[in-house]
Each structure stands twice: as C-alpha cells, then as structure tokens.
Amino acid sequence: MNDWWKKATVYEIYPRSFKDTNNDGIGDIQGIIEKLDYLENLGIDLLWVTPMYVSPQHDNGYDISDYYAIDPLYGTMEDFDRLIQEAKKRNIYLMMDMVLNHTSIEHKWFKESRKSKDNPYRDYYFWKDLKPDGSAPNNWTSRFGGSAWKYDEKTEQAYLHLFDETQADLNWENENVRNECYKILDFWAKKGIKGFRLDVVNLLSKTPGLPDDPVLGPTGDGRTHNVDGPKIHEYLHAMNQEVFKSMQLVTVGEMSSSTPEQCLLYSQEEREELSMIFSFHHMKSDYKGKAKWTNEPFSLEKLKASQSLFQEKMHKGKGWNALFYSNHDQPRALSRFADDRMYRQESAKLLAITLFGQQGTTFIYQGEEIGMTNAYFSSIDDYKDTESLAAYEELIASGFSEREALIILQQKSRDNARTPMQWDNSIYKGFSTREPWLRINPDEISAEKEMSDENSVFYTYQRLIAYRKKYPIFTEGSYRALDAENKELFIYERLYNEEKLLIISNFSNKNIHYKMPADYREPHRINILESNYGRENLSATLELKPYESLLLFRE
Ligand code: GLC
Ligand code: CA
C-alpha cells in the first residue's frame, strides 16, 4: 500500500527543547538520537523535526539563512545523517520542516536583493515604494502584529514580511525562486528522508500587484490576497511533480485559515499536490471571534463544529486530514480544552481518545504523550517567543495593564508548549545539566514517571497508535457526529461496513447521564478499546464521570 502513512502516527520534535546532550541548555540532534528507543517504544512511524537549518534564530529556525546546512547549535550534517540511519533501524522515518514562504534577511539572496534595485536577486522578494504620504505600500499586516512592510533605507523601498521583519517573503512568481526551492527539497529528499512538513505553504501565492485588502481585522488585512492565492495549486502541483512524486514523499501542508473546500483541493490524491493538510479552525475554539490574544474561555461547541465539519467534508471529498491538538505554535491542549489540575491524567487521555478516533493521520507533539501542561510564566522576562513579545507590546499599547496582558500570554503564548521536555525529576528534568534556554515547567510530570505507571497517558497513546494500525475502520470509516448540540459531550461514531466505533467524551467536570444509542446496547457485543476510568462494563445509561472518555468498537 503506498498510503501507509494514513495509518501512521507522526511525532513532532521541537529540537531546541527536546534533549540537550552537550549541556549548552539547547536541545540537539544527538539528543534526538538518544531518545529514539523511547519513540520506538511509543510506536511512532514518522518524526517531524522543526527547522534545524542555519538560522539567526529570530523565530527559532523558521528564519533560514542557509537551507543546505545544519545549524551548529544542533550539531553537524554527520549528526543529521546518523539520525536518519539510527531512526531507520527502528522503522522510524524523518519528515523535514521546510520553510519556503520566506527566508531570513540574513540569507545570501536577501543580502543581494537589498543591495540595489537592479540586483539579479531583487525580484526574489517583494520590494515596493512607500505611498506618497510615507505610509506602507499596502494595508497588509504581519501575522506577528504591525505592518507587513519594512522600509529599507539603502534603496528607499520596503520589503514584504508576513511574519517577523527578519523573515522576508519570497516572490514565487519568479521562476528562479521556484527552481531554487525544488533544488532544496531535492537535496534533503536524496538524504533519505520520507517527507516534508511545509510551513505556511498556503501563503506562497499572492495576488499580483499586492492590492489593499478590503477586509480589515483578523480575517483580512492581506489574507484576502495572500491565503490560497491564485497560483497556489499550480505551485504545489509543480512541486509534487518535480520532487514529491518520484521519491514517494509524504507531505503535510500547514493551512492555517484555508477553507475545507481548499483543503480538499490540496489533498485529493488525484490532484497530486500534498498528502494531507493541517487545518487550524478547531484551534480557534478559545478565540474571541477570530481574535487570538484574548482570554476567551474554551467552547466545546466550536471545537466540535469545526472538527465535525472537516471530518465530514474531507471524508466525502476524499481529502486527508492531519489530526492534532497540540504543536509548537499552540498552548498545550490539555490546559486549553480540559482540566490540567484536578483531572490532568483523565483530561490528557480524553484528548488522545477524542482525536485518535477521527479520520486522518495522527500527530503527537513532544510532551503531549506524558500530559505536559502550559508553563504559565508569570513574568514577561520568562517569555522568549517573538510572536508573544510582539503581542504583549500591542496589548499594552492598546490599554491593557501588564497583569492583564500576562494573563492572556499565560493562556495563548507559544512558549507554553516550548518548555523543555520533562524526562525525569532531576533539577533540569533530565533535559540538560544546566539552565535551559527557556524556563522549565516546575511540576512533577516526567516521562520516567509515566513509563513506570501502566495506567499512564503514555500507554494510552501507545495503544491508540497500535489500534490505528490494526483496525481499518480508523482509516476508512465515515464520520457521524452524535448529539451535536450537547455543550458538554463530544460524541461521534465511525462506520465501516458492518463495523462501528463510538467515541464518547465528557469535556466537563460534572457527572453526566448518557443514554447509549440502541446500536451499542445488548445484544450487540461491544468491545471497550479505551476507557480513561478503567470501565469494564457498559449499561443502557452511563453515568459519565468528569472528563471521562470511551472508545468503543462494535465488530
Ligand atoms: C509557522 C511555524 C511557526 C512560524 C511561522 C513562520 O506557522 O509553525 O512556528 O513562526 O510559520 O515561519
Ligand atoms: Ca545542546
């Protein structure tokens, strides 16, 4: 089967925070190699490692200055080659994180481009005159706040940056840019990796002329003209033909605000673009409308509505989802969507079950498998992330007190997910022997503790990963939301031939009575695949405990 990756589970590593072996406080490639046995034990198939290329690290590697070399921070190219080999011995394959929407302004292309208006590299990026009144060339905003344009005195023009001002957007209209990007992909593919995670790849194509966006605010200010732009499918298809197809690579595109219709186009097999997509709509279940930097409470209704919509549409249209609740850009799902204090273990398992029952390729973000929680830093000095620091400034400038701004960061900052991996309970949690680059979360959670407890979150993930390989219903089954209006329960079933899966998750801290659907009552034989309360029997009416979750299989 050439779509083995549909049954696979991918583990995301944020190398900076995974495992430090030379004790400089920063995780490294050698650290990943040391932990491969742990990952093999968990049962994962693919590793997605966030960027380790040479970078000034303004956005922790998403600002690349040399695509062909490993940053010495993480090790050497020999270390990287060894990682591929060592992983392969354990049937684990690598997925590289590739950033093709922008480069660091320290990349040689940009340095050339900046020199003069007629430099051969000028057109690798977007350069424009300011408006006569001295304002930016258009009204587009950066995803990290403020205008998306940075004026450069040297040539008296501004360049486009949809992220940090040290990340200049590449001009994909330029054929040379496209060819350079294929070359980069090809270089890494030939090293024996199995795939790519493509960073913000729905932004590659911009409306020619870069017109003002008529829509303002979080859904607009440029998004009309830079999300799923006019040539995006053409570019991805070309990338597929040039590189992915012949090497049989698995690809996942980050599609932050793309619609389900667009996501289908990106991932339908016969279109030959990408294998699957990350959609982020469900990550907005604690946004105020579309606005992220608020402390809006989590809404289960929003989570269910967006996940159910994608499940149904992608199944019907034969697209493919990448399933995730956490990654390096999101606070810990356990802290956001459930209860990370009173019911931490139950909640972590509930999220695992609720996600792994769905259709798609499952992703685990480092630490999720041991139930790590948000860091809740209480001083702005503890935050390191460029997006969080910019958001803090903006919040203060718009009238929030420092305390209020910090409370929002505690809920929304990406640093919540970036604290070092907690391997054991020594002073620096087995991550390093010295003070790490980002503060450690001082709680008691550790991989060591999880491994020694047979009822732990870790083993729940281990079993879930195995079920997905064993039962075709996980990959093939259709999706049906049940009790869609319920504000506390997330219930859905999967249907495949005569088989059924039923997932029941109580996202509240209350006991709730739930009447089992007739199909799952006597005389049908129901197999309890997972229960986060160790339930052994079912009844016509269940009294669900706080954050209780069940995965039931009817053969
Ligand atoms: C993606 C990455 C994120 C980065 C941004 C800009 O969203 O996941 O970490 O800041 O792109 O490259
Ligand atoms: Ca190190």
Residue 68 belongs to domain with CATH number: 3.20.20.80
Residue 108 belongs to domain with CATH number: 3.90.400.10
Contact 270, 320 (CB under 8 A): no
Residue 169 in contact with ligand 1 by CB distance below 6 A? no
User: Is residue 198 one of the residues assigned to a domain?
Assistant: no
Same domain, 143 and 32: no
pLDDT of residue 524: 87
Q: Which residue has its alpha carbon closest to ligand 1 atom 3?
A: 329
Same domain, 365 and 505: no
Pocket test for ligand 1, best of 12, 52, 58, 59 (most atoms within 8 A of CB): 59
The CA angle 212-218-221, to the nearest 5 degrees, is 10
Residue that terminates a domain, selected from 138, 169, 200: 169
Cα separation, 318 vs 478, in Å, equals 11
Is the pLDDT confidence value at 76 over 60?
yes
Q: Say how many domains are in the chain.
A: 4
The DSSP result for 316-327, as a single string, is: HHT--BEE-S--
Same domain, 77 and 165: no
Host domain of residue 500: 475-554
Greater confidence (256 vs 120) lies with 120
Tokens of 474: 């996980």
Bridge pairing between strands 46-49 and 478-482: unpaired
* Size (the chain), residues: 555
Same domain, 2 and 52: yes
Q: Which residue has its alpha carbon closest to ligand 1 atom 9?
A: 329
Residue 59 in contact with ligand 1 by CB distance below 6 A? yes
pLDDT of residue 507: 98
Same domain, 461 and 399: no
Residue 417 in contact with ligand 1 by CB distance below 6 A? no
| Residue 415 known to be catalytic | no
Same domain, 465 and 332: yes
Is the pLDDT confidence value at 529 over 60?
yes
Name the percent of the chain lying above pLDDT 90: 97
Residue that terminates a domain, selected from 147, 169, 191: 169
User: Is residue 290 one of the residues assigned to a domain?
Assistant: no
Pocket test for ligand 1, best of 142, 170, 200, 201 (most atoms within 8 A of CB): 200
pLDDT digits (tens, 9 = 90+) for 432-482: 999 999 999 999 999 999 999 999 999 999 999 999 999 999 999 999 999
Q: Rounded to the nearest whole angstrom, what is the distance from the C-alpha of residue 347 to the centroid of ligand 2? A: 32
Q: Rounded to the nearest whole angstrom, what is the distance from the C-alpha of residue 238 to the centroid of ligand 2? A: 38
| Residue 199 known to be catalytic | yes
Average pLDDT over all residues of the chain: 97
Is the pLDDT confidence value at 1 over 60?
no
Residue 536 belongs to domain with CATH number: 2.60.40.1180
CA atoms within 13 A on the CB side of 160: 27
Same domain, 392 and 364: no
pLDDT of residue 360: 98
